[in-house]
Amino acid sequence: AQTVTQSQPEMSVQEAETVTLSCTYDTSESDYYLFWYKQPPSRQMILVIRQEAYKQQNATENRFSVNFQKAAKSFSLKISDSQLGDAAMYFCAYREDSGGGADGLTFGKGTHLIIQP
């Protein structure tokens, strides 16, 4: 079974600084997707960024970028120019690419990100 591990229960960063959240995963599959979701206090899960395993290029969405190391099974999220609105729980998630697209997500336990003003 696939597992996703987030080893940082909590991280703190000064506003406008850069922070990196870590995620490792375990799978025997070669085709899969990785995601970072943000869960603010409202508890709404918001998709931040997606990475396809077959793509070597790291995904980027504005201030959010990932460092995807397939051989090491590592998928970290870098947030640049941190803003107060970035404060939230961040979850790393994995989805197998079975072709049908119905596979559910496997989540890590999350990292609580605190932004210091």
**In this complex, which beta carbon is closest to other proteins, that of residue 79 or of residue 93?**
93
Which H, E and C letters describe 47-65, residue by residue?
Answer: EEEEEECCCCCCCEECCEE
Which positions from 46 to 65 touch other proteins by CB under 8 A, shown as an x/- string? xx--x-x-------------
What residue type is assigned to position 56 of the chain? Answer: Q
Site for other proteins in 2-31 (CB under 8 A): 4
What's the DSSP call for residue 15? T
What's the DSSP call for residue 59? P
**In this complex, which beta carbon is closest to other proteins, that of residue 88 or of residue 93?**
93
Instruction: Determine how β-strand 10-14 pairs with β-strand 111-116.
Output: parallel
User: In the structure encoding, which two tokens stand for residue 43, read together?
Assistant: 């508890």
To other proteins, the closest distance from the beta carbon of 44 in angstroms equals: 6
**In this complex, which beta carbon is closest to other proteins, that of residue 15 or of residue 90?**
90
Q: Tell me how many helices (H) and strands (E) the chain has.
A: 0, 12
Choose the stretch contacting other proteins; rule: CB under 8 A; options: 19-27, 58-66, 69-77, 94-102.
94-102
**Is residue 84 classed as helix, strand or coil in its secondary structure?**
helix
**In this complex, which beta carbon is closest to other proteins, that of residue 16 or of residue 46?**
46
Interface residue list for other proteins (CB under 8 A): 4, 33, 35, 37, 42-47, 50, 52, 91, 93, 95, 100-110
